[in-house]
Chain A
């Protein structure tokens, strides 16, 4: 599936939720259940410090596709990471570079990607793109 297809699927899923409680419960459940990163990659090098919550990101490439794993110490942040990883992981770097995150607005979670939120997510997305750019350079 392309990034756009995955994002549309996520928008569809979220459209079934009737209110904020269902949306947040879903994200919290995602945050609780998914093992997002191996402990060995939760290093200081991989950490993105937000003022409020911490985020760890790890990337590697296989078969010309970038795989991301990530984690956070806050569960709602982790839930959003799960959604972002689902959209961006296992994709070709050139597609990751040009992809946008508008779908987060459409599923009613816009405030979490505000640069002033200080939860590390905005920096995390930048980091995902930086990894993609670096891997794209290797492919060129």
Chain B
């Protein structure tokens, strides 16, 4: 029995049956979905939770005295506890519901505007998604704070010696992704956090790409802020979470004003609600929050170790096959990486290959992956990115390789 077969003990075929979308055809071919780093697919269990909510207990939460509102509130707050336990946060109120990773980053960046002053420095990694660059640039414009960048090497790894030399007493914040969306590099965030803390800087980790593959323990990491999106973890779009250490969340001012986030309002003075509601103005995505909890239940029922092992097998298998294609270059060859492969073939434009693959029912992402600085580093317009989840198979990779060879032949 090969290693890959051993990991199939969780029965990938049975798992695939739980994802209705994997049965569909695209352009007359069975769908092969390799765009998981952009969004993951949703299992029936999670879809059922959303349908159940709208069928049986759709209501506005927290203020209602009626049964539906109470049921919806209970389910929404239960999901918050599930999220807290999943990430091992110390307190439930350290989990703030957001609309997604981008929202979480903007919330923190906006809050820090009032805590930073001219002369302070913040550090970003050179491997970031635009959503973990632009909010901080806006912060720097507002406050006169200086933005420093940790450079990357040819393998797509951060140069830690350079990071060490960027840190100083003026450094107030470091923001870095746990895993790069464009290259799949797993960043050494334990080291980055420890070093940042040694100069008194806080750290925000963008977990959008890590949460589908690993289970972060925010207390063990000692991270100050951790953000992610439910839709990358088999949950719905439009919901995510911000974990923040209690002491930081208390320091940050509210992000948006509105209902839900207040204690008392008069025209003379408004007092704000306690955590987590201080950061949750307006009616939230109730079904999304509940489904987020269900998605974590689903992932945990398979187990993150099993998921990581199986996905690594897929990564190794696909990488080997891709390397055999003449003229193919993989970008991002870090020692530690997840099941994301970014590549180009010769001088063929990624858009062309993506278009032909789509004709054969294969979904990959092409372009700069919202990480233009990385593309600039490699001096390319973009890449083709295939990203795998635990419901993908070796057979799909075989079909993808055949289709890719055909696309290259047509375009050469």
Contacts and interface: CB of A to CB of B under 8 A. Distances in A.
B410 A24 contact: yes
Interface residues of B, number: 17
Query: Is the interface on chain A under 10, 10 to 19, 20 to 34, or 35 or more residues?
Result: 10 to 19
Given A73-B349, A74-B349, A75-B411, A24 B356 contact: yes
A52 B349 CA distance: 9
A119 B359 contact: no
Contacts of A28: 352, 410-411
Interface string A18-55: 00110011001000000000000000000000011110
Contact of A52 (B348, B356, B367, B410): B367
B64 interface: no
Contacts of B366: 52
Contact of B382 (A24, A52, A75): A52
A53 B351 contact: yes
Nearest to A29: B410
Interface string B348-365: 111110111001000000
Contacts of B303: none
Contact of B355 (A21, A51, A73, A76): A76
Contacts of A75: 348-349, 352, 411
Contacts of A89: none
Given A20-B27, A52-B367, A73 B356 contact: no
B25 to A, nearest CB: 14
A121 B412 CA distance: 23
Contacts of A53: 349, 351, 381
Name the residue in A21, A75, A77, A118 with the highest tally of chain B Cβ atoms < 10 Å from its Cβ: A75
A52 B351 contact: yes
A75 B382 CA distance: 15
Contacts of B359: 20-21, 24
Nearest to A52: B351
A119 B410 contact: no
Interface string B9-41: 000000000000000000100000000000000
Contacts of A74: 349, 351-352
Contacts of B352: 28, 74-76
Given A28-B410, A51-B367, A52-B367, A76 B351 contact: yes
Contact of B351 (A20, A21, A25, A119): A119
A49 B358 CA distance: 22
A34 B22 CA distance: 40
14 contacts: A20-B27, A20-B359, A24-B359, A25-B410, A28-B352, A28-B410, A28-B411, A51-B368, A52-B367, A52-B382, A74-B349, A75-B348, A75-B349, A76-B351
Given A20-B27, A74-B349, 4 more contacts: A24-B356, A28-B411, A52-B366, A73-B349
A-B CB proximity, top 9 nearest: A74-B349, A74-B351, A52-B351, A53-B351, A76-B352, A52-B367, A20-B359, A75-B352, A74-B352
